[in-house]
Amino acid sequence: MAGTAVLGRLTWRVAEVVDVRAETPSAKTGRLEVEGWPGHRAGQHLDVRLTAPDGYQAGRSYSIASAPDDAHVELTVERIDDGEVSPYLTEEARHGDVIEVRGPVGGYFVWDSDPGGPVLLVGGGSGVVPLMAMVRQRAADRDDVSTRLLYSARTWEDVIYRDELEQLSAAGDGLDVAFTLTRSQPEGWTGHSGRVDAALLRELAPEPAGVGVPARQVNGRARADLEGG
């Protein structure tokens, strides 16, 4: 289980869409009720399969956005215009629609119940999705381990989970969220600009020296980016 999903979890299950909400102009979160869902760990992903009336099937893999204690499974998907699955999930999916999912999959890129620390999470664009599951799980566990999330997006409007991240960062429990915008910045912007590079990582990475526990760095990249939509 620690290394991957067990065989029994690699079966296709029926998932009903119970809600779809917009996150950004190009990204939406679908809330699913999954028949017989076995549970997951923050950082895992699942496979999605769509079947057309003529029998044609298309599948992609997406990171799970919800924390394990959530009663539903959430997927946040960024639309890829020439994709086969993301246009349906972001533009056509409605309450009551039924799709197939398989998983959870993955065991190395997950949040531990005792992660040590300090922790640095780094993600860009929709690559924040598995990191958001970790941040949500951290909050649900009331874990106060020092954690910094560095999130890179094109513009402020492209920041997924923007309001929730700002609220969690303001909670005062050791979570700090830093944004860097690569394409444009709003007037009066006081955050970072440009892509994540070595200099920015050196500036924001936690200092393990003298703490006695090495910093743990986790980089996130969305399954949609890997699979092409």
Assigned token pair, 161: 């989970």
Residue bearing tokens 């009336």: 53
Residue-wise pLDDT for 89-129, tens only, equals: 999 999 999 999 999 999 888 998 777 779 999 999 999 99
How far apart, in whole angstroms, are the C-alpha atoms of residue 70 and residue 81?
30
CA–CA distance, 72 with 34 (Å, rounded to integer): 7
Q: What is the largest CA-CA distance in the chain?
A: 63
Is pLDDT above 80 for 167? Answer: yes
- Please, is 64 exposed, middle or buried when counting C-beta atoms within 10 Å of its C-beta (0-12, 13-18, 19+)? buried
Average pLDDT on 56-68 reads: 96
* Band of residue 225 on the pLDDT scale cut at 50, 70, 90: very low
- Calculate mean pLDDT across residues 142-171: 96
* Phi then psi dihedrals of residue 135, to 5 deg: -65, -40
Given a cut of 60, whether residue 3 has pLDDT beyond it is no
The pLDDT value given to residue 117:
76
Nearest to 120 by CA among 159, 146, 140: 146
Output 6 or 119, whichever has higher pLDDT.
119
Going from the N-terminus, what domains does the chain have, and what CATH number goes with each? 7-105 (2.40.30.10), 119-224 (3.40.50.80)
Reported as a pLDDT band with limits 50, 70 and 90, residue 50 is very high
Question: Residue 70 has what DSSP assignment?
Answer: S
In degrees and rounded to multiples of 5, residue 108 shows phi and psi of -90, -35
- Arithmetic mean of pLDDT over the chain: 88
Query: Helices 162-169 & 129-140, crossing angle to 10 degrees?
Result: 40
Which residues, at least 6 apart from 222, have a Cβ–Cβ distance to it below 8 Å? 62, 63, 78, 125, 126, 127, 128, 129, 130
pTM: 0.87
Distance CA 186, CA 156 (A): 7
CA separation (Å) from 39 to 7, 36, 55, 102, 172? 14, 9, 29, 12, 29
| Predicted pLDDT of residue 228 | 56
- Selected residue with higher pLDDT from 60 and 113: 60
143 pLDDT higher than 50: yes
Confidence of residue 224 (pLDDT cuts 50, 70, 90): very low
